[in-house]
Amino acid sequence: MINPEKKYTLQEYIEILNRRMWYLIIPFLLIAFIASVYSIAADKRYKASTLVLVTPQRVPEAFVQATVTSKVEERLQSISQEVMSRTRLEQIIAEYKLYEKESRGRSKEELVDLMRSNINVELPTKKDEKGYFTISFTGDNPQVVTTIANRLASLFIEENLRIREQQAVGTTEFLSIELKAAKKKLDEMETAVTAYKTKHMGELPEQREANIKILEQLQNQNLKVSESLRAAQDRKLVIQKQLMEMPAAVELEDLRAKYTENHPDVIAAKKKYTGPENNKSGYDTRNVRKDPRYRELRSQLDLTDLEIRRLARESANLSGQVETYLSRIEKSPAREQDMAALMREYNSTKQNYETLLKKSQEALQAENLEKRQKGEQFRVIDPARVPEKPFSPDIPKTMLISLLAGLGAGLAAVFLREQMDRSFYDATDVEITLGLKVLATIPKIEDEIA
């Protein structure tokens, strides 16, 4: 090109195309021919797709909460790994006799990888379109790819049911084991609390108020008994004084009541108390016990002694009870701390048990939900159909691309040829190149005029 800075008009572009017509036509036709040959000679690849709907569980979640809470994308990834495992794909390859041509010179692992590359699981990209996915399979036989696509869809459905049921059963078993352990610990805590209460009965914090009331009652009773005891003792002293004021022969009568007349003590008492100085009152010592006054005082003294012994025993018993209840009240704060620690652990254990019990019941319901296939499921809503035309090569797309590529290649060839051309095509090219003013130009002489 003589003048690279030249600005061309539409007419000049048309003249360039006319001048370089074959540079445009030959690349265009060549690329179109190659694309046509490729479209005819290339192996036909067919693609069959199955549309699978993700149906929500049939029982409202307000009544039964499913144990499988992972997203569809995560479960599909896990299911895909199971379905497209080497064992599964080898079974499908052997069952449908796939890749017989490709099997020559290739290992089973390579055939499995080849089949994996022909399987595609596609989820919708838009959030509002989620709830379904597509399983497609590509191959050279339209009947086979349709069968394989439907088979893969059924495997996805079966694997989803198996995984959901397995997860539900596993959750139930795990919670059952944890529940048994929690129940055992709860029983141990109940036994410990019962044993502690039994061992320290009367010293427990909830018995403190009752102990204080009982202590007050015992102290009041003990005070009354002590007063009664003092009164009985005073009464005994009065009776004894009255008895001492009676004839001295009373002592002799007491000895006679215990011993015989020949007993030394009786004989000594006779000598001591039968003298005139000790019998001034003129009482007959042998008949003193027959005196009603004496008998009454003696009876009162005996009754008073009995009452004193009874009151003394009662006072001692009450004092012991007072000491017992005082000890219980003093030990109550320590027992309260121990019981608080025990009850905290017991309540924590009980709460854990109740939580596990509730979760276990919910897991059992979820397990029944999955076993009865009432949970979230995959359902085929559009099964794969036999494709009527190949997926690859896409002849219309291939031809369109080849035409555009041929046109682009032709224009590029025209541009390159024009850049390499050093010819003058108008007066401007001459003036710019030679630096001379053009005085006149001779127009192109057409053949018809010549």
The alpha carbon torsion through 296, 301, 306, 307 (nearest 10 deg) reads: 100
Q: Which two tokens stand for residue 51?
A: 């549309």
Confidence of residue 371 (pLDDT cuts 50, 70, 90): confident
High-pLDDT (> 70) share of the chain, %? 76
Peptide bond preceding 443 in cis form (omega within 30 of 0): no
**Integer Cα distance of 171 and 169 in angstroms:** 5
The answer to whether residues 417 and 23 touch, using CB atoms and an 8 Å cutoff, is: yes
**Integer Cα distance of 167 and 196 in angstroms:** 43
Confidence of residue 188 (pLDDT cuts 50, 70, 90): very high
pTM exceeds 0.75 for this model: no
Mean pLDDT for the chain overall: 80
> Hey, which bits of 211-297 come out as E strands?
none
Confidence of residue 247 (pLDDT cuts 50, 70, 90): low
Query: CA distances (Å), 267 to each of 191, 272, 274, 284, in order?
Result: 75, 9, 10, 17
For Cα atoms 267, 270, 276, give the angle at the middle one, nearest 5 degrees.
155
Is pLDDT at 181 greater than 90 in this prediction?
yes
Domain boundaries, the chain: 10-42+393-434, 205-361
Is pLDDT at 128 greater than 90 in this prediction?
no
**Integer Cα distance of 375 and 371 in angstroms:** 9
**Picking from 124-128, 343-347, 402-406, 430-434, which range would have the lowest pLDDT averaged per residue?**
430-434
Sequence-distant (≥ 6) Cβ neighbours of residue 147 within 8 angstroms: 96
**Picking from 37-46, 160-169, 243-252, which range would have the lowest pLDDT averaged per residue?**
243-252
**Picking from 6-10, 76-80, 307-311, 318-322, which range would have the lowest pLDDT averaged per residue?**
6-10
Supply the pLDDT for residue 442. 66
Alpha helices in 245-286 (DSSP H): 249-258, 264-273
* 277 residue type, one letter: E
**Integer Cα distance of 174 and 168 in angstroms:** 10
